[in-house]
Chains A and B, each alone.
Chain A
Amino acid sequence: MSDQTTPDRERALHLFKQMLRVRRMEEKCAEMYSAQKIRGFLHLYIGEEAIAVGVMESLRDDDAVVATYREHGHALVKGMSMNCLMAEMYGKMSGCSRGRGGSMHLFSKKHRLYGGNAIVGGGIPLATGLALADKMQGRDRVTVCFFGEGAVAEGEFHESMNLAELWNLPVLFCCENNLYAMGTALDRSESQPDIHLKAASYGMHSSQVDGMNVREVEKAAKSAVDAVRRGEGPRFIELRTFRYRAHSMFDAELYRTKTEVQQWRERDPLANYLDYLEREDLVDDDELARIEQEVIEEVEQAVEYAENADWEPVEELTRFVYSEEKE
């Protein structure tokens, strides 16, 4: 018996591996940050992997993604190489933004990743505009916009919900509700903490999903993306999740208890998915060991690649302020 939500073995392992790639890459980033190889702000996605993976699985290569500063996972599962991501975090020229963006500003034209935006809420109008361009040019591409629950307090969130629904634009808004905006708990900042209702108030089709369960995320995202692609207008998904790590590497985490973090860790998207795979007999120990090994090697190679990559010559500092060629 298989319906759409019962993945076959290969797909199941693929989902697991994608989540594992994000996690191991970021664990390595944390390590490299402590070793002072990566500097600046570093916001880890650990705990939230099911969202990027579940949503991205529903996309075509030519669909667009707009993300925030917590976007390593989005970039990786959109298809960017771990090498160019790691090199970017090192600030190297072969990084995906030539070392000009760093951890918070990952970009790729080829993969249609439009940042990496460090202004909370700032990417939401951008995604709306990308969707407008697709609609006006008669293309059936979808734009997905990720942002945290902190962003919904910004005016740009509301302006964009209104525009997207008013103009029936092909955009999927994914709110990664990890309950904290830096140190501010959702119920200390929002008069209406039930976020999906905000989008619904603009007339938008909106739902709430367990962001710790990759199967649930994938299912919700798939149906939303399909609807958006059919021209049914924008959709909104609120994904309930949690970040295990501090907001950034500078955060002493005074605002939440270890118990709370521990409780969420018990719902870990990787561990729980693995349990499911084992229950359904979709994975065996050998396969698991092989996947772990492949991912670890990929991470090691990415670090090596970044270590050996070149710095952009300082003479090129002022490039890319304006375009180098007219069209």
Chain B
Amino acid sequence: MSAETITYREAVRRAMCSAMSEDPRVFLMGEDVGAYGGCYAVSKGMLDEFGEQRVRDTPLSESGFVGAGIGAAIGGMRPIVEIMTVNFSLLALDQIVNTAATFLHMSGGQFNVPVVIRMATGGGKQLAAQHSHSLEGWYAHIPGIKVAVPATIEDARWMLATALEDPDPVLIFEHAALYNMEGELPEDGAPVDLEKAVVHRQGNDVSLITYGGSLHKCLEAADQLAEDGISAEVVDLRMLRPLDTEALVETVTKTHRAVIVDEGWKTGSISAEITTRLVEEAFYELDAPVARVCTEEVPIPYAKHLEDAAIPQVPDILDAVRKVVEHHV
């Protein structure tokens, strides 16, 4: 099996281009996706390739164009709506939460909403509080939508295809720090099962449960832990709704210890949900309290040293793991 080295950005772009080539119902809309080339350069060149009907630049009106994307999906299209960052998606919350998520249910099953909404999330680029937050956990609270978090080149390439095939609204969160990441893309890729977490590294002593941008920090931490003789299993959730509870129980049944790494804030977060599920479903498997490495409870600051301190880092993960591993019942 051969593989090619590409960036995460390129992987997302390829996913969109192939979806648009294969299905005339698919189109991309959002702010600056066309002439500008996408604010993270993800859709660069797509305007030339597909024309302005299918790569639609929108005005700065998140609620309007997200709502229009939802309407277009209900009307038979397969829109990919891009929102620059999760922070701006809050202006479209009404359309996402009150329309996309409720339409099928309120209509007694008559109208499904096959829309895909992509956005950047996460910090680490010194963009300060209004461009750096990780709110995907909030969206995971809402029944009626699905929340996907591609952390790898392969998922960036293939999750979109699955999302577009899904009859229901799927939100895809791409960590902004991943766009430049390079990695291998195997040539025989195929749409992925969106509902299954993956174990990226097998281990016996502790489970590092994570998603998105934090996956790579966890893998790095696991390498360092291995040098100290601690064998960490790294689980990538890939979806925050639905959550693959089975995979969570499975990994903890093997390692008996869990550290959750989540760039969201702790209070009321997806990490809180994961912890609770472990307590509910795998309490007697646990040999130590579940630990969490989350963002400090502050809006993300601009200054590099403060931002670094706010967001989960490899040393924080190492500390948490060591405490958990040293814990004896």
Query: Is B61 within 8 A of A129, CB to CB?
Result: no
Label chain A's interface by main secondary structure: mixed
Query: Could you give, for residues 95-116 of chain A, a 1 whenever the CB lies within 8 Å of some chain B CB and a 0 otherwise?
Result: 1111111000101110000111
Cβ distance A231 to chain B, nearest Cβ, rounded Å: 15
- A107-B108, A163-B68 as given contacts; A114 in contact with B74, CB under 8 Å: yes
In the complex, A40 Cα to B226 Cα: how many Å? 60
In the complex, what residues of B have CB within 8 A of residue A119's CB? 94, 98-99
Choice from A101, A114, A129 contacting B68 with Cβ under 8 Å: A129
Query: Is B106 within 8 A of A132, CB to CB?
Result: no
Cross-chain pair count, CB within 8 angstroms: 158
- A122-B98, A128-B71, A129-B72 as given contacts; A136 in contact with B53, CB under 8 Å: yes
Query: Is A101 within 8 A of B106, CB to CB?
Result: yes
Question: How many residues of chain B get a CB closer than 8 Å to chain A's CBs?
Answer: 44
Q: B137 at interface (Cβ–Cβ under 8 A)?
A: no
Give the one of B61, B75, B143 with max A CB within 10 A.
B75
In the complex, what residues of A have CB within 8 A of residue B68's CB? 125-126, 128-129, 132, 160, 163
In the complex, A249 Cα to B109 Cα: how many Å? 28
In the complex, A100 Cα to B99 Cα: how many Å? 15
Q: B124 at interface (Cβ–Cβ under 8 A)?
A: no
Query: Is B110 within 8 A of A97, CB to CB?
Result: yes
Query: Is A125 within 8 A of B70, CB to CB?
Result: yes
Cβ distance A132 to chain B, nearest Cβ, rounded Å: 5
Q: A4 at interface (Cβ–Cβ under 8 A)?
A: no
Q: B50 at interface (Cβ–Cβ under 8 A)?
A: no
Q: A327 at interface (Cβ–Cβ under 8 A)?
A: yes
Choice from A95, A114, A127 contacting B111 with Cβ under 8 Å: A114
Query: Is A160 within 8 A of B105, CB to CB?
Result: no
The stretch from B40-48, B161-169, B263-271, B291-299 touching chain A is: B161-169
In the complex, what residues of A have CB within 8 A of residue B168's CB? 322-323
Residues of B within 8 A of A (CB): 25, 27, 53, 56, 58-59, 61, 63-77, 94-95, 98-99, 103-112, 114, 143-144, 146, 165-168
Residues of A within 8 A of B (CB): 64, 95-101, 105, 107-109, 114-117, 119, 122, 124-134, 136-137, 155-156, 158-160, 162-163, 166-167, 319-327
